[in-house]
Structure 1
Amino acid sequence: MAVKFRDYYEVLGVDRSVKQEEIQRAYRKLARKYHPDVNKSPDAENKFKEINEAYEVLKDPEKRKKYDQLGAHWKDGQDFRPPPGWETHFDFGRAGGPGRTEFHWGGTGGFSDFFEALFGGRGGEPFAGMRGARAQTWSQAGSDQEATIRISLEDAFHGATKSITLQMQSITPQGQVSVQSKNYEVKIPRGILNGQKIRLAGQGGEGIGGGPRGDLYLKVEIDPHPVYQVEGKDLTYILPLTPWEAALGAEVEVPTLSGPVTLKIPPGTQSRQKLRLRGKGMPSPKGVPGDLYVVVNIVVPKKPTERERELFEELRRVSRFRPRS
């Protein structure tokens, strides 16, 4: 018996070549839009069932692979007969298997004839009970959300507690978008790096039908620093030296985020030469701390005194150093 072909990619509004992550994003967006708890239109329930059926197939790489074997030439609503032996060659798993949908359905009706012709109606536990009376067992976990938090390098180095205010969106029971301000006390872990995220469990999007809230992830951006450059967990500091300090060697004080240290400058140090202070970069509570790299920058007086000029003239006369030869 022929059934009507269902184009699951068209149902979710995605291309056949998209990755699994895009399928999940498309499903979540449509499921929130047509969820009967927030969408009271007459078509919402049927549309929601179509979305769940499509996701039930496309969310699982193996099911999706077998579905794709039917080919891309089929159009939604065309008469279709499963290939001979399809139901005996492919077992898509029984209720309670891996990869369950994120919604629980307790309404009337079931899978489409197309689905049952291909998979025998064994899509998974969340659709068990579709043929019974509606039990109002809708539930979906809230979506994870992400925001950006800007902090100083000192806060990232030492750790801190910051008060921030974020504008959060939520969907009302009437399906409207509500924007609210919410305050958070955020603990900045010591040694956090640029681009890392702080997880605030249960502070994301609201769940539907009693589902748990999602998480809120705060992406850390460290403000530019007037003294140090940040490269991962390593820091760079530009150290100005006089020509005689570089030529003769010296001991100079270098600032670090944990306090000043004395650095020994070897005789003959060149401009742009890099000296390392091991372990003086960003701390790492669970690993090896970063390093502080001191980059030498040889400087001369812009307005030398008369005596300094005399000494430089004398040096020019007696020195045999020829840097360009």
Structure 2
Amino acid sequence: MRQLHGRPNGLQRAHVDKDSLVNVSLASVKDPYKVLGVGKSASASEIKKAYYGLAKKYHPDTNKDPTAKDQFAEIQTAYELLSDPKKKEQYDQFGAAGFDPNAGPGPGGDPFGGAGNPFAGFGGQGGFGANFNFEDLFSAFAGGQGGNPFGGGGRRGARNPFQQEILVGDNIEVQTNISFMEAAKGTSKTITITPLVTCKTCTGSGLKAGTQRSQCKTCGGTGTRVHFLSGGFQMASTCNTCGGTGASIPKGSECKSCHGDGVTRERKTLTIDIPGGIEDGMRLRVDGEGDAPVTGKAADPNIRGTRGDLFVFVRVASDPKFSRSGSDILYTASIPLTTALLGGEVSVPTLDGQVNVKVATGTGTGEKMTLAGKGMKKLSGRRGGSGDLRVEFRVQMPKYLTANQRMIAEMLADELGDKTAKRIMNIRTPE
């Protein structure tokens, strides 16, 4: 199955390939405010929002620009600096020089109190080392567990300052059927879906107005239960009462509209544009038209959520005249025996109507000709264009001949010197 683009669904944890990142020294970093495009008075949430947008845009996995890797590293470093109140204060006071381990103390003495490199915990002098958790840094992006960092959720329980959990709703899949000609030219289809949407009554909290969540009594709010085994060993497992959230909606406090889920079903009609050239079995993705996440069951009632995607599975019907090979169309043209012998002109159907093509003298079954640009639209390639119409000729052989036709055929055999042809008319050609 081919798809035009896709993304995993669900609450998931992103993974970043460390080898794809470039180390950038904090001492040599550009002005972090300019890198993130925020002012010095920007709040922590504004800085975080700017960082997420830029990191998505310049991540090397999705941006193939040769400079994207360096820009991505600068964005990381700028956010690392500005997201930490102490480091931000140091930068505001001393600038980039305040992070240079080789720089001498200022007039007031060592501004770091003899602490050395203030970022040693991140490994190396000014670089990201083995102790830096890149996975936590990107857990705010949607993605699959151990997969693309832009496909889903986060990780519950960690307290890394760079970590943020995002709930991603499930994807929805539907099927639509189109004709061969619609696939060739492109078309629009109206489909109806019933996705989960954020509850309008409780705005996704799952709570009735004036109520709040309570701490899980089974696990004491930790979300886990510890089991003591023989030999002094311990084993932790997810609390089966709260599902690992550490909190729950008290009975009677659930929103009546969504029953505590934070989402409800809503009927929706969409018009889907299907591009010309699409093939049978391809899928189209419509961003953000899938289910909303079930935020009422999340550990954090204020957790960020994003909807899944809608995938439209396209089935293309066969055509009685044409078959297909990629962007090329195949057509078999039957021609009379006399046209094959003498040559001539026959009418051939195309996607845009009938055209006349010339048949060369002596054309045999299986011979082909190509009508350039008369095929399907091409989905791939920057210039677009269309494939070709490939015509294969098939000579129609008469099964029965009248006496007159037989006589003419035997005379032709004599004229051509064919001594193997059967003769029953006893016609002699003049010498």
TM-score category, normalised to shorter length = 0.5 to 0.7
- Higher alpha-carbon Rg: 2
Match of 2:391 in 1: 294
Partners of 1:219 and 1:150 lie apart in 2 by 9
TM-score, normalised by the number of residues in structure 2: 0.44
| Partner residue of 1:194 out of 280, 298, 305 | 280
Give CA deviations for 1:1-25 in whole Å, capped at 9, x if unaligned.
xxxxxxxxxxxxxxxxxxxxxxx96
| Partner residue of 1:163 out of 172, 185, 190 | 190
Please give the secondary structure, in 2, of the residue aligned with 1:125.
coil
Contact 1:95 1:124 in 2 (8 A): no
Give CA deviations for 1:135-171 in whole Å, capped at 9, x if unaligned.
xxx7412233333322101112222222334576899
Work out the number of aligned pairs and report it. Answer: 228
Contact 1:191 1:283 in 2 (8 A): yes
Report deviation, 1:250: 1.0
Report deviation, 1:310: 2.4
Opposite residue 390 of structure 2, the aligned amino acid is Y
Report deviation, 1:205: 2.0
1:143 aligns with 2:173: no
Q: Which has the higher contact order (CA 8 A, sep 6+)?
A: 2
Partners of 2:369 and 2:291 lie apart in 1 by 48
Report deviation, 1:260: 0.9
Opposite residue 248 of structure 1, the aligned amino acid is L
Report deviation, 1:275: 0.7
1:248 aligns with 2:248: no
Equivalent pairs: percent with the same residue? 27
Opposite residue 187 of structure 2, the aligned amino acid is A
Partners of 2:267 and 2:322 lie apart in 1 by 34
Report deviation, 1:241: 1.1
TM-score, normalised by the number of residues in structure 1: 0.57
Opposite residue 132 of structure 2, the aligned amino acid is F
RMSD: 4.0
Partners of 1:268 and 1:289 lie apart in 2 by 31
Please give the secondary structure, in 2, of the residue aligned with 1:302.
coil
Report deviation, 1:123: 7.5
1:318 aligns with 2:415: yes
Partners of 1:196 and 1:322 lie apart in 2 by 57
| Partner residue of 2:315 out of 210, 221, 227 | 221
Please give the secondary structure, in 1, of the residue aligned with 2:365.
coil
Report deviation, 1:258: 0.4
Please give the secondary structure, in 1, of the residue aligned with 2:167.
coil
Report deviation, 1:254: 0.6
Unpaired segments ≥5 residues, structure 2: 1-6, 20-121, 124-128, 142-151, 199-257, 296-303, 421-431
Match of 2:223 in 1: none
Partners of 1:123 and 1:310 lie apart in 2 by 97
- Counting only pairs closer than 5 Å after superposition, residues 42-61 of structure 1 correspond to structure 2 as 55=13, 59-61=15-17
Contact 1:246 1:298 in 2 (8 A): yes
Match of 1:267 in 2: 361
Contact 1:139 1:207 in 2 (8 A): no
Partners of 1:151 and 1:260 lie apart in 2 by 23
- Name whichever of 212-221 and 224-233 sits farther off: 212-221
Report deviation, 1:223: 0.7
